[in-house]
Structure 1
Amino acid sequence: MAEISMSKARSIIRATLKKGREMELKPLSVVVLDAGGHVKAFEREDGASPGRFEIARGKAYGVVMTGMSGSALHARAEAQAYFVTALNGAYDGKVIPVPGGILIRDKQGRVMGAVGVTGDTSDNDAIAGMAGVESAGLVGEA
């Protein structure tokens, strides 16, 4: 299993927050999970609501556990709500199937983890998160 380093996780967060400021987004919260769904790093900007950690983690957790991007998981939820309901039950309610969850792969295509971004619209969250992943020289699937 490919490992995401602490340095890469922090780099992803810094670049995601920078992109959010460039886009003039609402305050963001960003989490990076490893390939097993464990937290590597998290930051919540000043002004972001305190509950944003769970939302960011839920977006990232869903994509890393299913191997699907946030947008693909969202489409699946719309097309097959029963499947995502059952999936969420299997994962103790930890999955938030909306954009802003980005699967992270290395250049060889191995899953390294996921980033979850929350604070603005889900689509804007995904754009900022993709910028963070790409800035770290990794491949993202939003």
Structure 2
Amino acid sequence: MPLTLDEARAVSDRVREHANELGATVTIAIVDAGGHLQVLDRMDGANPVSARVAPAKAAGVALFHRDGSDLMGMQQAYPAVFAQIVEVAGTPIVAGLAARLLRREGVVVGAIAIAGGTFEQDDECANVGHDSLSVTAST
């Protein structure tokens, strides 16, 4: 079953709540398995560029089927190959932390990425979003 818009919105809501608890202002991007944007949630005061970075990180994770840290390793190990793949992907891709695959029963259904806070805040919020999908899907 694909990631529904209602599920994506619920995940975003949970991440926004957590970011508020941390005192962070972030942008949350959730994409479907094809890297297509489902939710873009830029909190008041979040850095404007975060609204471009988060979707590009989420799309990369979804399209490559690798979490952000793995994608960064691939980019560092094979920069020329990575650049060629990004060129033909048809969408901006950023390899960065705070980006996680979203899976249901082992199948990739999308990805979430966070930008705008500190690296630690973004990464913690990405974990909350990742972990909340199973809670959201079962309710």
Name whichever structure is richer in helix by fraction: 2
Equivalent-residue separation in structure 1 for 2:6 and 2:85 (angstroms):
32
- Code of the aligned partner of 2:110: G
Which residues of structure 2 form unaligned runs of 5+?
none
**Deviation for aligned residue 1:49:** 2.8
**Matching residue of 1:48:** 46
SS at match of 2:109: strand
Instruction: Report matched runs for 1:81-92 at 5 Å.
Output: 81-92=79-90
**Deviation for aligned residue 1:14:** 1.1
Instruction: Report matched runs for 1:55-66 at 5 Å.
Output: 55-66=53-64
Match of 1:130 among 114, 127, 136: 127
Supply the RMSD in Å over aligned alpha carbons: 1.7
Equivalent-residue separation in structure 2 for 1:73 and 1:11 (angstroms):
26
**Matching residue of 1:96:** 94
Equivalent-residue separation in structure 2 for 1:84 and 1:122 (angstroms):
23
CA contact (8 A) 2:101 2:130 kept: no
Equivalent-residue separation in structure 1 for 2:3 and 2:108 (angstroms):
9
SS at match of 1:86: helix
**Deviation for aligned residue 1:28:** 0.3
**Matching residue of 1:110:** 107
CA contact (8 A) 2:57 2:113 kept: yes
Which residues of structure 1 form unaligned runs of 5+?
none
**Matching residue of 1:13:** 12
CA contact (8 A) 2:102 2:133 kept: no
Q: TM-score, normalised by structure 1?
A: 0.85
Choose 77-86 or 30-39, whichever is displaced more: 77-86
CA offset digits 1:32-88 (Å, max 9, x no partner):
111121111111101113332221110000010010111100111222222222222
**Deviation for aligned residue 1:17:** 1.5
CA contact (8 A) 1:76 1:84 kept: yes
Equivalent-residue separation in structure 2 for 1:119 and 1:111 (angstroms):
25
How many pairs are equivalent?
A: 135
**Matching residue of 1:71:** 69
